[in-house]
Chains A and B, each alone.
Chain A
């Protein structure tokens, strides 16, 4: 039987985490193992997780330091792989999966593989915001022939990349391509990873699989929104994307990213000191080129 591991990474989200875990445990096709990675939370996350300790399918991993979403996912996926998972389904700690999200992902992925006659390296869900609209932060990028499966009667579209909010990877993708880059810490780790996997073929967004992303506001990444409070996240994002564009695409892609970055900053009227800090991060990205780790086969 196919062994599916669900991996949830959490950091200081005690208020939402319980609902996330409950939704995963209540799947009509249950995950065979649920791995919750606590990124050294400092709120009451431990108390929330205490309720799940001892459940036969649940593993709680408490990390000694916050490794960011990227480190948490790399850790949880590695553990799932070691424990013999055939598929790893991952999500953030503010993602409420519909009760059939996993089953439809598995079915949609299998049907898409049959239809395409090839292995597909990931399958993601449709991510809704709290008002039922599409969640702007989590829109996958479609391929040029994205409608191919729709034309064949499948409820799926082909994609190049997606976010880590309800995406499922088959084991072979981890064997061949390794784990997400923990060094990215946060932002663009999902884009880098799914684009890395897309070398083996497109991913698929299964339109019948849905989750709700409980974000405060429904807004994608926009460099015009940079301020002193959210600057730390944008710093990671700029460094990571510059690194990806330079090292995994080409110098022109990195320069186009710089142009997009600075026109966004200018459009938002972001103060010059912050712009300069992001410029330095862009330069840092050129020197920053982490290599993927590969999970270890245990079972």
Chain B
């Protein structure tokens, strides 16, 4: 595939002893530091730690030859960029830190700082009150955002030099990080699709990322550079211009990568022949998120791929982007094929069998696991043994979830399951899946639940209305959510035929959604055009 952008002067013994994850991180660092110093030999001192520190591979700290005491030296290695004669001057020294093991990074439950400490403490003690305030703030921000225009970058008028035609054809990908869940799961798939289309995938990730997913086979033939910030401006432009010099970059596909979004005007100015597209997943009312950045950059971009009708309506109807510039293509079939897997006929519960209500997802603020626990407490109080609960997941709020579980006296009522157990097991047992998130695009779990014949009860957020029947949509505001969700589950318990009727409605919504264009088809056609 032609991704050898550097060569080692000599491969040291320790190199082969690195874990696949560390090896990929180091390869990314070698690629970066040799690309930004063409014609120079680069001598890397490679560090690691046992502590909860993400890798530091490309930021300005890599130019300093001192490091914190808890780092240990893995070894040193020399390399130089290929295709450029190396000058006789001495090597440039760089220190890269591969960071701590992934298990230690998981312990980074919250960002450092007093504010986050106080915030976590309040949420742990009074999560519903915390959430009421949070949702009110979201409402305010949502109204403000809808009433204010988003500034846009100007259109590019310049004619640049163009990318290196005749070189290997490539796609430049921007990812948030290398944990392949949600948006990154789709991003990783597109990396594989680019390779299948005969394009070299070049992957830049934005956030410090020590995740083990970098060692996944999908990245085998890709040039992966996990960035850490801040880099110097000079190195940033060198990196990009050298990539465009070595490769015929036919397109840039941005998946949630702020750094790359912000460099698109520069890329358009210098390489106007390169297509610039992005994939957008979710509207984030609080911060604007990637959708706002995409809108800011839209004037220099060719196309926006959106995965939900809600995003299409937001971009076209609310923000006035031309309809032909916004392509709706769903990820309904990313984890299951909704058209190909007719919902398991809802096996009627055995008489007297409890209704099983499940939560499946990461324990994060967005998913609001604390609301599920409170819903379980209310329902248990009201229905007793007629209902049982399974909570399946892990994540940064795991400790809070466990503490809440004990405090609410839910031992023996809500079964907690870790990620070691397949989600399919939980869905196979469940009658109802509760999605308590305060924001979503359209959850892949909803499709998985439907494929298992499980009814989805969801907060009315994002495009959940695309797959969830109206009777099973409940308000986002926490108190109203709890009241409406409680009512819905009680009705399901009291009316044995209701679940089957609602499941039919759910199936018909899922079918209609599945009939929308698919992201895989859209992307495949795009890459084929780029490869031709």
Contacts and interface: CB of A to CB of B under 8 A. Distances in A.
A222 interface: no
A296 to B, nearest CB: 5
Interface in B364-385: none
Contacts of A176: 317-318
Interface of A: 82, 84, 119, 171-172, 174-176, 296-299
A119 B322 CA distance: 11
Nearest to A119: B320
B513 A175 contact: no
A82 B470 CA distance: 11
B313 A175 contact: yes
Interface in B286-315: 308-310, 312-313
18 contacts: A82-B465, A84-B309, A119-B320, A171-B317, A172-B313, A172-B318, A174-B317, A175-B317, A296-B460, A296-B465, A297-B310, A297-B313, A297-B463, A297-B466, A298-B309, A298-B463, A299-B512, A299-B516
B439 to A, nearest CB: 15
B476 interface: no
A174 B466 CA distance: 17
B318 A299 contact: no
Given A82-B465, A297-B313, 17 more contacts: A119-B320, A172-B313, A172-B317, A172-B320, A174-B317, A175-B317, A176-B317, A296-B465, A297-B308, A297-B309, A297-B312, A297-B465, A298-B309, A298-B465, A298-B466, A299-B512, A299-B516
Nearest to B328: A299
B518 interface: no
Given A84-B309, A175-B313, A299 B320 contact: no
Contacts of B460: 296
Contacts of A171: 313, 317
Interface string B440-467: 0000000000000000000010010110
A298 B460 CA distance: 11
User: Which residue among A175, A176, A298 has the maximum number of chain B CB atoms within 10 Å of its CB?
Assistant: A298
Nearest to A174: B317
B505 to A, nearest CB: 12
B509 A298 contact: yes
B323 to A, nearest CB: 8
B316 interface: yes
Interface in B408-461: 460
Contacts of A172: 313, 316-318, 320
A296 B313 CA distance: 10
Contacts of A84: 309
Contact of B513 (A119, A174, A296, A299): A299
Lowest 9 CB-CB distances: which A-B pairs, in order? Answer: A175-B317, A172-B317, A297-B310, A297-B309, A296-B465, A297-B313, A175-B313, A298-B466, A298-B465
Interface string B311-343: 011001110100000000000000000000000
A298 B510 CA distance: 10
Contacts of A175: 313, 317-318
